[in-house]
Amino acid sequence: MKTIQAPLSKEDVMGLTVGETVLVNGTVYTARDAAHQRMAAAIEAGDKLPFDPQGQVIYYTGPSPAPPGRVIGSAGPTTSGRMDIYAPLLIERGLRVMIGKGERNQAVKDAMCKHGAVYLATVGGAGAYLARRIIAATVAAYPELGPEAVYRLEVRDFPCIVAIDARGNDIYER
Amino acid sequence: MRSISAETIAKAVAEAVIQVNTHLPGDIQAALERALSIETNPAARCSLQILAENACIAAEDKVPLCQDTGMIITHVELGQDVRVCGGLLEEAINQGVRDGSRRGHLRQSIVKDPFLRINTGDNSPAVIHIRLVPGDCLRIMLMAKGAGSENMGQLTMLKPAAGIEGVKQFVLKVVREAGGNPCPPIIVGVGVGGNMEKAALMAKEALLRPVGEPNRRPELAQLETEMLTAINGLKIGVQGLGGDTTALAVHIETFPTHIASLPVAVNLGCHCTRRTTIEL
């Protein structure tokens, strides 16, 4: 099984092919609906983003709170399609990898092909299992959003499948 | 007249809210094991194995099965000879939801207003359906429903001429459009008849039925089997990545309807459709 280390270069993601299973290591940022809305507004207003997307990985998740003694609570993927409206803005700014579940629209795929990005799917509803692959979690931005805040996570051997590669090949197309 | 205190109800609901979020129901676990035993797609097999491990880890680590700990939905059957004392029934249920969410470290997933979208901070309120029944018992069927699957539900008002074929085509359309989003393998709840809200309610109630328990009417049980075969023929598969099992079961509920109507509602449940029953 292939292992990838975040952050990633364009060459790194061009080497990934649809259907391939990969283990993700390194730093990933969480963001879902509300955080994407804020980041899109920041881009619109010409403000600074909470992190530079260049080479980074965004994981679409809103984790449950960490029980005492744990790094994080349950942390599986949310439905990626809700972020389709915002994703091209971040891909244009160098975002290399998105992790989530379910289909993406054509605009996202076009941006991925143009700028070199991949979309990885992980197992929806396996939040307890995936939490064990997260070894550190800190709030990176928008703490007032609670579960929708941006977290900086350190992941180890986080299991994913390449769902859409940087050439636009899509596992969901049947 | 039997008295049940609001405090007793709140405590039972709090326990149930924690329990459903950390323990996969036995019927679903068995259905997932059956799916694994026949699955031929490697990616689907891998996902099903992870899901089995996820259920063990959730119970062991006391961490929710899924981070979307859902909106709490209760179907209450209140015996006519029961008196709730020391508080209001609905408030007792909401208190239980608040206590269980805090103690169980559940995610805060409910906003106060659909437009303003400010989090209530405690997962209340629950969606509460109450039905009066004979007897002196209080039964609460409680479900923690995630939005990934809930968002994929649909309702239509068919013309009666559309008949069974029209219902089948609509259900297939809903499942096809949902694709991998509702976290397949799914449970497909179908409500046919009544009116608009009755059909939607039946579709939800259909998800409460144990997986694989057929409708009592043989012709509807037959329809459930046919629909399950047709849905699995779509090859959406576990997580939408392809494979043999898209749905674990199709449950159909029906009700008398108007001469001019054929309402059909479809409510999808994910592979982790969390529900339990409280009996007081």
Extents of the domains making up chain B: 2-20+65-145, 148-273
Fold exhibited by the domain A2-164: fumarase (3.20.130)
Question: What pLDDT was estimated at residue A147?
Answer: 87
For residues B179 and A173, give the distance between their C-alpha atoms in angstroms, rounded to a whole number: 10
Residue of A nearest to B151 (CA): A79
Average of per-residue pLDDT across A64-82: 95
Average of per-residue pLDDT across A59-83: 96
Buried b (16+ CB within 10 A) or exposed e, B16-32: bbbbbbbebbebbbebb
Residues of A with CB below 8 A from B108's CB? 146-147
Spell out the residues 6+ positions from residue B163 whose beta carbon is closer than 8 angstroms to its own. Answer: B262
| A70, A131, A147: residue with CB nearest B107 | A147
**Does the interface ipTM go beyond 0.85?**
yes
Q: How far is CA A56 from CA A6, A14, A118, A157, B230, in A?
A: 7, 15, 11, 17, 41
Question: What pLDDT was estimated at residue A77?
Answer: 97
Minimal CA separation from A23 to chain B, in Å: 14
Q: How many helices (H) and strands (E) does chain A have?
A: 5, 7
Bond into A7 cis (ω within 30): yes
In this complex, do A79 and B181 lie within 8 Å of one another by their Cβ atoms? yes
In this complex, do B271 and A128 lie within 8 Å of one another by their Cβ atoms? no
A61–B contact, CB cutoff 8 A: yes
In chain B, % of residues over pLDDT 70 = 100
Question: What pLDDT was estimated at residue A174?
Answer: 67
Interface test with A, best of B49, B60, B63 (most A CBs within 10 A): B63
In chain B, % of residues over pLDDT 90 = 99
Beta bridge partners of B190: B252, B266
Confidence category of residue B151, pLDDT binned at 50, 70, 90: very high
Question: What pLDDT was estimated at residue A146?
Answer: 87
Residue of B nearest to A73 (CA): B63
Residues of A with CB below 8 A from B58's CB? 74, 127-128
Minimal CA separation from B231 to chain A, in Å: 14
- The ranges assigned to domains in chain A are 2-164
Whether B206 contacts B224, CB under 8 Å: no
Average of per-residue pLDDT across A31-43: 96
Tokens for A117?
């990005």
